[in-house]
Amino acid sequence: MVKGGTSILSENIWKDALKYFAGGVNSPVRAAVKPSPFYSLSGKGAYIYTEDNKRYIDYVLGYGPLILGHENEYVKNKVIEQIEKGWIFGTPSKSEVELAKKITSHMNSVEKIRFVNSGTEATMNAIRLARGFTKREKILKFNGNYHGAHDYALIDAGSAATEFGVPDSEGIPKEVLNTVVICEYNDLNCVEKKLKTEEIAGVIVEPVMGNMGVVPPNENFLKGLRELTRTYNSLLIFDEVITGFRLSLAGAQGYYGVSADITTLGKIIGGGFPIGAIGGKREIIDMFTPSGKVFNAGTFNANPVSMTAGLATIEVLERENVIEKTVSVAKSIAEELDNIPVPHVINRVQNMFQIFFGVSKVTNATEAKKANKDQYIKFHINMLNNGVFIPPSQYESIFTSLAHYDDYVINETIDAIKKSRSGI
Ligand SMILES: Cc1ncc(COP(=O)(O)O)c(C=O)c1O
Ligand SMILES: NCC(=O)CCC(=O)O
């Protein structure tokens, strides 16, 4: 097994992939790995192993779900047990009730849930629900917030939408664009003005921005959103697809002490299998079909494998002080990054963080875009060459997992950072 370096076999697969997939991939951020993506073969703990027999310490972690690291034994065994019994029934299964009980026990504002298959579906349905509930049409979102890949979210979106220079996607009807109102993150004045002058069904927000790098909310931002949405009878939607069960067991809401009307979840609650969820107050979630008239359905909704993996993951989070451990790793790594002798700023909230070169503060998407992306990419490549996989894009977050809570992994990472800082 070799640490980092070039990847001949992956390069051959990549040549084939370019023939079959737009840009060679099935989700754009994967094409951002330079000079070309490596092809993963397996994962164990903090490590990814590639088709080329290379090993990387993984700080991408499937873009968030793997808070326990790769192939956690407990989760794996529960999933195998489930698979031996079957994996889709087209009927309810007990696992969905167990996962719902678990999530609602941790998140006060979530009394009822609808399970779907991705964060994208979660926010799409949350928006539909807010419109159905308030009988209003407009949605307020923030510049650089990413809520997945559907029409109502791809306006001034972060993540790959910014990385590839298309924060407004082509193919979205004007009528849809006109229903989305944009403010800069952390700008409560803008939110108040829009809520006052437009009939807004809901304000959707990443409570910590994780899709423009990491951008924390200012001290009063989330509380301010809570108050303003109440005043103007609009719903507050927290998109906790990244932050749910990451910042705390009660998500960003627990961490900041602000509760939402609707919460979207994904990533961690599926333990690495496809999932999304819309949660909220009973009277809001009850508007979904069949008890209400806001339509949602799905062949794979609440599929037992994702339910089982999610439940097992949350059990480990509860039992093993996982969040505390991931935060302690994140602190050590962020401190070492801070020693890089090139002007930069590091934004970190708990176990998610990112470095921005060439700027002294990043409090919103406009400031994030001023960071020196070229320096970030050089750093990313240097890190890969030294055996560490951090996000290939400035506009993603570095994550830590339970498996990184290991002196050997931490020291190896620190060593890689030291070797990677020249030439950026
Ligand atoms: C905050 C947020 N919301 C929604 C999504 C979309 O989730 P998915 O990729 O599962 O559709 C993401 C994905 O990264 C996200 O970070
Ligand atoms: N922050 C954006 C994502 O996590 C998306 C991952 C993907 O589309 O592969």
Which domains, ranges and CATH numbers included, belong to the chain?
73-318 (3.40.640.10)
- 394 Cβ inside 6 Å of ligand 2: no
Residue 164 — very low, low, confident or very high, per pLDDT cuts 50/70/90? confident
On whether the CB atoms of residues 197 and 228 are closer than 8 A, the answer is no
Give the amino acid at 163. Answer: E
The residue nearest atom 8 of ligand 2, judged by CA position, is: 27
Burial 137-163 (b: 16+ CB within 10 A, else e): ebbbbbbbbbbbbbbbbbbbbbbbbbb
Is 59 catalytic? The answer is: no
Identify the nearest ligand to the CA of 306 by its number: 1
Q: Helix, strand, coil shares of the chain as percentages rounded to 5? A: 40, 20, 40
- 126 Cβ inside 6 Å of ligand 1: no
Q: What is the DSSP letter of 109?
A: T
- Quickly count: other Cβ atoms within 10 Å of residue 78's Cβ: 21
Q: What is the DSSP letter of 371?
A: S
- Strand 352-357 vs strand 180-183: parallel, antiparallel, or unpaired? unpaired
Is 239 catalytic? The answer is: yes
- In degrees, rounded to 5, the angle at the alpha carbon of residue 159 between the alpha carbons of residues 158 and 165 is 75
**Quick one: which atom of ligand 1 is closest to the CA of 119?**
7
Identify the nearest ligand to the CA of 61 by its number: 2
Q: What is the largest CA-CA distance in the chain?
A: 61
Mean pLDDT to the nearest integer, 33-59: 94
The CA distance from 122 to 114, in Å, is: 9
The CA distance from 342 to 365, in Å, is: 22
Given a cut of 90, is residue 34 above it in pLDDT? no
pLDDT score at 167: 80
Q: Which residue has the tokens 């599929």?
A: 303
275-325 pLDDT tens trace: 999 999 999 999 999 999 999 999 999 999 999 999 999 999 999 999 999
pLDDT score at 2: 63
- 242 Cβ inside 6 Å of ligand 1: yes
On whether the CB atoms of residues 61 and 68 are closer than 8 A, the answer is no
CA distances from residue 114 to 103, 183, 281, 289 in whole angstroms, order as listed: 12, 28, 12, 10
Residue 5 — very low, low, confident or very high, per pLDDT cuts 50/70/90? low
Task: Give 369 Cα–ligand 2 centroid separation in angstroms.
Answer: 18
- In degrees, rounded to 5, the angle at the alpha carbon of residue 350 between the alpha carbons of residues 349 and 354 is 50
- 123 Cβ inside 6 Å of ligand 1: yes
Grouping H, G, I as helix, E, B as strand and the rest as coil, residue 114 is strand
Residue 9 — very low, low, confident or very high, per pLDDT cuts 50/70/90? confident
97-128 pLDDT tens trace: 999 999 999 999 999 999 999 999 999 999 99
Best mutation site among 146, 264, 278 for ligand 1 pocket (most ligand atoms within 8 Å of CB): 146
Mean pLDDT to the nearest integer, 209-224: 98
End-to-end CA distance of the chain: 27
Phi, psi of 94 (to 5 degrees): -60, -30
Structure tokens at 84: 């031996």
Is 223 catalytic? The answer is: no
Residue 79 — very low, low, confident or very high, per pLDDT cuts 50/70/90? very high
Task: Give 29 Cα–ligand 2 centroid separation in angstroms.
Answer: 7
Q: What is the DSSP letter of 288?
A: B
Locate all alpha helices (DSSP H) within 107-170, ordered by sequence.
Answer: 119-134, 160-163
354-392 pLDDT tens trace: 999 999 999 999 999 999 999 999 999 999 999 999 999
Q: Tell me, rounded to whole angstroms, the distance of Cα 395 from its chain centroid.
A: 11
ipTM of model: 0.99
pLDDT score at 168: 84
143-156 pLDDT tens trace: 999 999 999 999 99
Helices and strands of the chain, counted as H and E runs: 15, 15
On whether the CB atoms of residues 285 and 244 are closer than 8 A, the answer is no
- 120 Cβ inside 6 Å of ligand 1: yes
Cα R_g (the chain), whole angstroms: 21
The CA distance from 276 to 93, in Å, is: 17
Q: Model-level pTM?
A: 0.97
Q: Which of 270, 118, 140 is nearest to 192 (CA)?
A: 140
Percentage with pLDDT > 70 across the chain: 99
**Quick one: which atom of ligand 1 is closest to the CA of 63?**
14
The single residue of 56, 146, 256, 376 carrying the catalytic annotation is: 146
